[in-house]
Amino acid sequence: MELFWKVVTELMNPFVFFLILGGVTSGLFVGAMPGLTAAMALAVLLPFTFKLPPLLGLVALGAVYMGAIYGGSFAAILVNTPGTPSSIATAFEGYPMAKDGRAIEAISIATVSSAVGGLAGVFFLLVLSPPLARLSIQFGSAEYFWVAMLGLTLIASLSPGSTLKGFMGGSFGMVLASVGVAPIGGENRFTFGMPVLQGGVEMIVALIGFFVIPELFNMAAHGRAALVEVTMDSRKRGTFFSAIRTVFSMPVNLIRSCIIGEIVAIIPGAGGSIANLVAYNEAKRASKHPERFGKGTVEGLVASESSNNVTVAGSMVPLLTLGIPGAPPDAVILGVMLMHGLRPGMDLFTVSGDLTYAFIISMGLAALFMVPVGLLGGRLIYRVIVKTPHYLLVPSIALVTILGTYALRNSLSDVVIMLLLGTTGFVLRELEVESAPIVLGLILGGIAEMGFVQSILRGTSLDHPWMMLFQNRLSQIIIFMMVLSFASPYLSAGFRRFKRGPEELLKDEGDSP
């Protein structure tokens, strides 16, 4: 009880509220700009927190993180360009909704879903921290490898057209992830004699290239028409209360997406970039109308936005208990904690309990602040984007994209790589190899390689070292999930065919072109 009042006293400081409001607002605008990520927003803000007391510094960073992950949905919905990797799946449904004249509705639903996800993440962090921390400790190299392979099966089902093209795109992404210094052998691969490639293909650089550049080409090719398609919808349909009704009308989807977000969040290295795709995929799989996905369905949008915001607080579980950042932005927060002498572990929940719990609850407040900030800011950003002529909008996005890519590592080579990958992505998209599997392959490639090579090394004493990948019970469970995930679309299709009977099937085949 004493701890509770201490936490309340800490949070009653008006400056805390000001910092949360400012943090969410600035995070939202940074996240809404393609190329500027949550990690970058936090890194940029870091110097400003040096002079602040530990709690205020952490509160500001937590609010920026929450706002930036949510802000990524704006660009995804309005220009089909995920502002952050956490909003890839948001673009699948949000942009078709916007093209259908439902942009404000999509933004309102994304806002409410993000707020619910943010609050759910805080709930999980407060209540489930100890058991989840114990589960994350169980993950060894083989489990990491299989988690990445599970991602590969998701890649295939995420690909809207051909499964084979999805696998091809995912494999290409994994090959791109192997460019540069090997994580274990330490030698250079695929550098083609260019020292600049020794550092590898930065994930954010590839993400910007694959998602922004094809869209710029598309906008340039279609001119005014590319933007006119996104039209203003009635305020009535996009109101806050209407969005609340819509989001809470699908409780199973919401709860499932939040749980998926939390499970992915506690796996170090995964984060919102994977959570949103997994949750979206599961929503599609569970839906009565999976064929509507990709055409502007609310279910997919709710799944993506709720799950990615769960990971903001959710990824703090391994950070606060083990000192392992669950996602890149967490690394910045870890740096601030260490700078203020706060060491992750049990002491954080006992000796510095008031500060830790105040920080956790402040993230919940940031999730609530997202609603007014997002609904007001959303309309503002929407109007700016819609009213700007395409011949000014395309170069403006190009400018921010070039700057954002350059500022990641102060490297002009990264900008050239981004343009090359973007052009390749545009050509591949025309051949129906989508960008999402390539980027997911790039994210998973590093995790898979580490897990694979470490497992083989650990198994050198065995007759067949690769057996190390199959020995652990947790690995076997993940392999089972992977097989199930791979087979379930075929199984459900077979089941549907069986249920409908041979006559209807013959009729369907007769109707089909």
Partner 1 sequence: MKRQTNTDLFAGILGLVLVGIFWYGRGEVGHLSIMFPNAILFLLGVFSVALVVKGLVRPHRRSVFSEGDRGKILGTGTILFVWVIAIPYAGFFLASVAGFWGLTCYLASTHRKVTPLQAGKWLCIVLAEVTFFYMIFAKLLYVPLPTGLFF
Q: Should residue 432 be labelled a site residue for partner 1 when binding is judged by CB under 8 A?
A: yes
Interacting stretch for partner 1, rule CB under 8 A, among 71-79, 241-249, 426-434, 469-477? 426-434
Q: Should residue 50 be labelled a site residue for partner 1 when binding is judged by CB under 8 A?
A: no
Among 115, 216, 263, 365, binds partner 1 (CB under 8 A): 216
Among 1, 2, 14, 185, binds partner 1 (CB under 8 A): 185
Q: Should residue 423 be labelled a site residue for partner 1 when binding is judged by CB under 8 A?
A: yes
Interacting stretch for partner 1, rule CB under 8 A, among 109-117, 223-231, 251-259, 341-349? 223-231
Residue 188 DSSP SS3: strand
Interacting stretch for partner 1, rule CB under 8 A, among 119-127, 133-141, 173-181, 496-504? 173-181
Give the interface size with partner 1 as a residue count (CB under 8 A): 66
Q: Should residue 449 be labelled a site residue for partner 1 when binding is judged by CB under 8 A?
A: yes
Interacting stretch for partner 1, rule CB under 8 A, among 171-179, 243-251, 260-268, 331-339? 171-179
Q: Should residue 392 be labelled a site residue for partner 1 when binding is judged by CB under 8 A?
A: yes
User: Site map for partner 1, 339-378, x if CB under 8 A?
Assistant: ----------------------------------------
Q: How far apart are the first and last CA of the chain?
A: 70
Indicate the residue type of 332: V
Q: Do 366 and 20 contact (CB within 8 A), yes or no?
A: yes
Q: Do 67 and 366 contact (CB within 8 A), yes or no?
A: yes
In sign, the C-alpha dihedral spanning 243, 244, 247, 249 is negative
d(CA 363, CA 373): 15
Among 5, 15, 190, 498, binds partner 1 (CB under 8 A): 190
Question: Which residue in this structure is represented by tokens 């290409």?
Answer: 172
| Buried/exposed 48-61: b ≥16 CB within 10 Å, e otherwise | ebeebebbbbbbbb
Q: Should residue 189 be labelled a site residue for partner 1 when binding is judged by CB under 8 A?
A: yes
Contacts of residues 245-250 at CB distance under 8 Å and 24 or more positions apart, as own/partner, are 246/109, 246/112, 246/298, 246/302, 247/109, 247/112, 247/113, 247/116, 247/302, 247/306, 250/298, 250/299, 250/302
- The angle at the Cα of 45, spanning 40 to 49, to the nearest 5 degrees, equals 145
H/E stretch holding 189 reads strand 188-189
Among 78, 115, 394, 436, binds partner 1 (CB under 8 A): 394
Q: Should residue 462 be labelled a site residue for partner 1 when binding is judged by CB under 8 A?
A: no
Interface residues with partner 1 (CB under 8 A) are 44, 161-162, 164-165, 167-168, 171-172, 174-175, 178, 182, 184-192, 213, 216-218, 220-224, 226, 389-392, 394-396, 398-400, 402-403, 406-407, 410, 412, 415-416, 419, 423, 426-428, 430-433, 445, 448-449, 452-453, 456-457
